[in-house]
Every structure is written in structure tokens, then in C-alpha cells.
Amino acid sequence: MWHAEHTLETTAPPERIWAQMQMVADWPQWDTGLISAELPGAFSAGAQGFMQSSSAEPRSFLLASVSAQHEFTALTRLPLAEVRHIHHQETSSMGTRITHRIEIRGPLSWLYGWSVGRRLRDDLAPSMRRLARLAS
């Protein structure tokens, strides 16, 4: 398994961070690696949507889990691997602590970690800073 993770603290309140995270069509405003995202239904576990990164064709994703105001996981399937984008938030003394973790699992996780992992890792910190700014 390959993974990358980044944590940021912000003065933005948790409910404003969560509001930004559940507006899927607005993900490209803060996620520097995306050019589009769409979720036709409700922001709930089992919902399926589409996203397109700047370096790949559009892909479907599944909201594998959603714990309102706390955490969600978006799952994308690749040949012989899956990519999990885990978005977690909690109240902190500053306001909100946000952690985004990306995991690539499966027989070809080493290959995807090598080929796209660096870009995914490098996008974490700037994306989180943009999210915090939008929610402030």
C-alpha cells in the first residue's frame, strides 16, 4: 500500500470546512489537482459521481463512507488498485484540524504510487490551504 497524508490547522469553523467539502462541484476551487467534479445525488455513503484531474480522463468515484461533519472517503478504482481519498476534520483549539490522506491499495499500488503518487502528495498541502481560505 502507498499513502500520503497532510494535516493543517485553521481558524475556519468545522461547519464551514464541511460545507465546502460536501459541495462536490466546487472541489476544483480548492483541490489543485482537479478540473471538474460532479455528484448527481446526495452527499451520502454509496453515492457515485465523476471527477477529472488535470492529468487523466474523467473517472467515477464512490463515496465509500460519510460521517457528517467529521469524515468522508472517496474511492476511485484503477486496474488492480483503488485510490482512497480520506478527508477528516475535528475541532481544535485554533478552530479546525483537517487531515487529508490518500491511500493506494491493491496489487499495482506500488506502480500507481510511483507514477501518480508524487503528484497526489504534492497537491495535498496547497489544496488544504485553499480549502481553509475558502471556508474562512
Per-residue pLDDT of the chain (136 residues; tens, 9 = 90+): 999 999 999 999 999 999 999 999 999 999 988 999 999 999 999 999 999 988 778 899 999 999 999 999 999 999 999 999 999 999 999 999 999 999 999 999 999 999 989 889 999 999 999 999 999 8
Domain that residue 20 falls in: 2-135
**Number of neighbouring beta carbons within 10 Å of residue 113:** 21
Q: How many domains does the chain have?
A: 1
pTM, rounded to two decimals: 0.92
Please provide the DSSP assignment of 70-93 as one string.
Answer: TEEEEEEEETTEEEEEEEEEEE-S
Our CA angle for 127, 36, 47, nearest 5°, is: 95
CATH number at residue 110: 3.30.530.20
Residue with cell 464541511: 18
Helices (H) and strands (E) in the chain, counts: 4, 7
Amino acid type, 108: L
